[in-house]
A = this chain, B = another copy of it.
Amino acid sequence: MAALTPPENPESDPRVRAVFDDIRATRGTDFINNIWHYLAADPGLLERTWAEIKAVMATPSSLDPLTKELIYLAVSVVNNCEYCVHSHTAQARAKGMTPQQHGEFLQIVALAAKTNVLSNALQLPVDDVFRVEKSGG
């Protein structure tokens, strides 16, 4: 159940159709997942969100695709976004994540959450050596 009723025939709107066509072409599949169906209720928001996802996640860059996906998944886990955890775990698998790598990913996010809590509970002072700006220009 969502908090919004998505449009029934989203592609009857040419702006939505253009985005959906680009999603299909970029991903090489006819499948359009739910977030795009719901964002279609606001074509401007749909266009900008897809443009940003495409530019950041579907364009070759200085980080490899699986690393990018795991960073995205880590954020989604901490924010406890159910939809995002499912969709980005699926995408990480599609980009080659092995069960062993998934296990390591889980260990890292769990360990980070743990030391984050320790650091915040102790309100640790930052070491001078980490203060890059001081040593910078």
On A, residues with C-beta under 8 Å from B are 1-6, 8, 31, 33-35, 38-39, 41-42, 44-45, 48-49, 52-53, 56-57, 61-63, 66-68, 70-87, 89-90, 93, 98-127, 129-137
Name A's interface SS.
helix
Query: Which B residues are CB-close (under 8 A) to A90?
Result: 129-130, 132
In the complex the two chains form, is B116's CB within 8 Å of A81's CB? yes
Q: Would you call B45 and A107 a contact (CB within 8 A)?
A: yes
Interchain residue pairs A-B with the least CB separation, the first 4? A5-B136, A75-B112, A42-B103, A78-B78
Nearest CB of chain B from residue A108's CB, rounded to whole Å: 5
Q: Please indicate the chain B residues that have their CB under 8 angstroms from the CB of A74 in the complex.
A: 71, 74-75, 78
Contact between chains at A80 and B78 (CB < 8 Å): no
- Whether A62 lies near B101 (C-beta < 8 A) is yes
The answer to whether A98 touches B62 (Cβ under 8 A) is: yes
For the complex, give the distance between the alpha carbons of A134 and B1 in Å: 8
List 21 A-B pairs, Cβ < 8 Å: A1-B134, A3-B122, A5-B135, A41-B103, A45-B103, A57-B108, A57-B111, A62-B104, A63-B101, A66-B67, A71-B71, A71-B112, A77-B121, A80-B80, A83-B124, A83-B125, A84-B115, A85-B120, A85-B121, A110-B117, A110-B118
